[in-house]
Amino acid sequence: MRKRLESDVRRGQIADAALKLVVSEGVSALTVKNIAKEVGVTPPALYRHYAGKTEILAAALDHIVGIYTENRHRVSRETGDAVELLKALFFSHVRLFERHPAVPVFFYSDLLWREEPILGRRLNRHLKEMEDELTEVFRKGQEAGRIRTDEPPKRLFIAFLGLFTSLGLLAGRDLFHLDIEKQAETNWRIFENYITNTDLRPERTETKSDNEEVVP
């Protein structure tokens, strides 16, 4: 049992090392040799845990996806209100990016989507699962009168996804000397004000007889 625990800990260290390399040296630095050096072992020792780089990347991907999924399920248990659930989930993602700034860079890199398409498809399954769950959250929020109904739930989900993904990418690239916590608060206020403004309706247009549109 202890041996298995030590092995699990080592595998976690290897996955973390891969993510750190993404931040410090970029995705091109993700080689078995560099990861082994980061962990403090020899490449042959690394092969005792993984068959190669693809398995290491898969472990890093599964590690982060596991955190995402656990966060979603935990937040869902803590509140039934759609807006509060989305807020808690948004800030849980922000905290994840603070701990692992490589995550969004890694998730949206060519490494996953072009060089390792199998892993890209694995991530896509996770994103689809997230889409299904959160689109339902938006739909229920609309039914409860908490979220505006003039936007389709899927469109709101994509806006929500971009809300923290773009923030993570900027922070991961260290752009604009970003204070991720303060920017996250601003981003959320703007998004929350929009989705909860249930009094707004889409602008209606009138059409003249000559088919020229007139916006009132």
User: pLDDT (tens digit, 9 = 90+) per residue, 26-85?
Assistant: 777 888 899 889 888 888 888 888 888 888 888 888 888 888 888 888 888 888 899 999
* 172 in any annotated domain: yes
User: pLDDT (tens digit, 9 = 90+) per residue, 151-195?
Assistant: 999 999 999 999 999 998 888 788 888 899 999 999 999 999 999
Query: Closest Cα partner for 153 from 137, 168, 171, 165?
Result: 137
* 81 in any annotated domain: yes
Domain that holds residue 129: 54-198
Task: Say which CATH number the domain at 105 has.
Answer: 1.10.357.10
pLDDT band at 212 (very low <50, low <70, confident <90, very high): very low
How many separate domains does the chain show?
A: 1
* 194 in any annotated domain: yes
pTM for the model stands at 0.79
* 107 in any annotated domain: yes
What Cα–Cα distance (Å) separates residue 184 from each residue in 52, 114, 131, 150, 188?
37, 30, 21, 25, 6
